[in-house]
Amino acid sequence: MKELIELGERVRQQRIAAGIKQRELAERAAISPDTLSALENGRSVSTETLVRVLRELGWASALEELLPAPAPSPIELQKLSGKQRQRVR
């Protein structure tokens, strides 16, 4: 899958730009060097692995930008405002 290959290349570029060796990043992310290699080579890894690696590279906030928290529903907003619903007569 093209996207996984691109993602892996970006992770590798960020690691190298930060001056971190593959083994060191794997240790800091609590994953095996083989798993990090798989990620960098575009193979499928778990979401947990990806999050661990991004966190160690200082990119955890990128996930928040990618998937922002959903806006509260109108019912939740009403509950937060403390107003009681009134029935229309």
| Domain extents in the chain | 2-66
Enumerate residues 6+ apart whose C-beta is below 8 A from 10: none
Taking 80 as the threshold, does the pLDDT of residue 52 lie above it?
yes
pLDDT at 63: 78
Share of the chain above pLDDT 90, in %: 64
Superfamily the domain 2-66 falls into: lambda repressor-like DNA-binding domains (1.10.260.40)
Residue type, 69: A
Return the percentage of the chain with pLDDT > 70, whole number: 96
DSSP state of 71: P
